[in-house]
Amino acid sequence: MSKQLTEMGYTEFQELIENYIARSAQEDDAVPASTFLELLFTALSRRVQNIVRIEGQVINDELIFLPPKEETPLQVQGNQILLGNLRVVVTLKRKLQPT
């Protein structure tokens, strides 16, 4: 009996990914990594129960997040997002100028 991704713990999920990588390196009909990652993201996104929307502005070539309008455990400051033990730092890439 197989488990769904949403029922797996972190360690079990890591083992699944490592086994997939090992198998895909040996098989000719392996699913491309980009397809696998897209399917994985879709499966994991089904676990989402709440959505927090934040807005940002580009000021002097820097992305600055605005505080969320609703009460949320998410905190923002400048280009950083804090949520639990995670810190997400967003950096804008400069567009290359044609030569």
Model pLDDT, residue 8: 76
The answer to pTM > 0.85 is no
Residue 16 lies in a domain: yes
Residue 94 lies in a domain: no
| Contacts by 57-66, CB closer than 8 A, 24 or more apart | 58/92, 61/92, 61/94, 62/92, 63/90, 63/91, 63/92, 65/90
pLDDT per residue rounded down to tens, the chain (99 residues): 467 777 778 788 888 888 887 777 665 666 788 888 888 888 888 888 888 889 999 988 888 999 888 888 889 999 999 989 999 999 888 776 666
Instruction: Say how many Å lie between the first and final Cα of the chain, rounded.
Output: 58
Residue 9 lies in a domain: yes
Total domains in the fold of the chain: 2
On whether both 33 and 62 belong to a single domain, the answer is: no
Residue 99 lies in a domain: no
Full residue range of the structural domain in which residue 39 is found:
5-45
On whether both 12 and 39 belong to a single domain, the answer is: yes
On whether both 38 and 63 belong to a single domain, the answer is: no
